[in-house]
Amino acid sequence: MATKLKPVDAVVVGVGLSGSILGKELAEAGLHVVGRERGRWRDTDPDFAMPHAHDELRYVKRHELMQDLSRETITFRNNTNETALPMR
């Protein structure tokens, strides 16, 4: 069964660079905003900070910054009567 949360004025899905700015602007305009993010924290600052070398094997070949769908996945259903199943 889905969890019912308190109503809000706006939901920002994905609070990366653009989403966080949008959420801040909406909150400053007086709206009650909730930001939703999926998956683990991806701290790119120490990995991509210069003068460190970019690790092509780690990020391009082994997809280190990609989400591991075997452990973190999304669910999908067409309507509220269906059971939400993993989408892989």
Q: Mind listing the pLDDT tens digit for each residue in 27-66?
A: 999 999 999 988 777 666 666 666 666 777 887 888 887 8
Q: Which of 3-12, 14-23, 25-34, 70-79 has the lowest mean pLDDT?
A: 70-79
- pTM listed for this prediction: 0.52
Please indicate, yes or no, whether residues 81 and 49 belong to a single structural domain of this protein.
yes
Please indicate, yes or no, whether residues 32 and 66 belong to a single structural domain of this protein.
no
Please indicate, yes or no, whether residues 18 and 54 belong to a single structural domain of this protein.
no
Domain with 76, as residue range(s), is 43-88
Please indicate, yes or no, whether residues 49 and 81 belong to a single structural domain of this protein.
yes
Measure Cα distances from 28 to 10, 21, 32, 77 in Å. 12, 11, 9, 34
Q: Which of 7-11, 28-32, 50-54, 72-76 has the lowest mean pLDDT?
A: 50-54
pLDDT at 6: 92
Q: How far is it, in rounded angstroms, from Cα 12 to Cα 55?
A: 32
Please indicate, yes or no, whether residues 72 and 49 belong to a single structural domain of this protein.
yes
Q: Is residue 4 part of a domain?
A: no
Please indicate, yes or no, whether residues 82 and 49 belong to a single structural domain of this protein.
yes
Q: Is residue 3 part of a domain?
A: no
For the chain, what's the residue count? Answer: 88
Report the domain count for the chain. Answer: 2
Q: Which residues contact 84 (CB under 8 A, 6 or more apart)?
A: 2, 75, 76, 77
Residue with tokens 């970019």: 54
Is 70 exceeded by the pLDDT of residue 5? yes
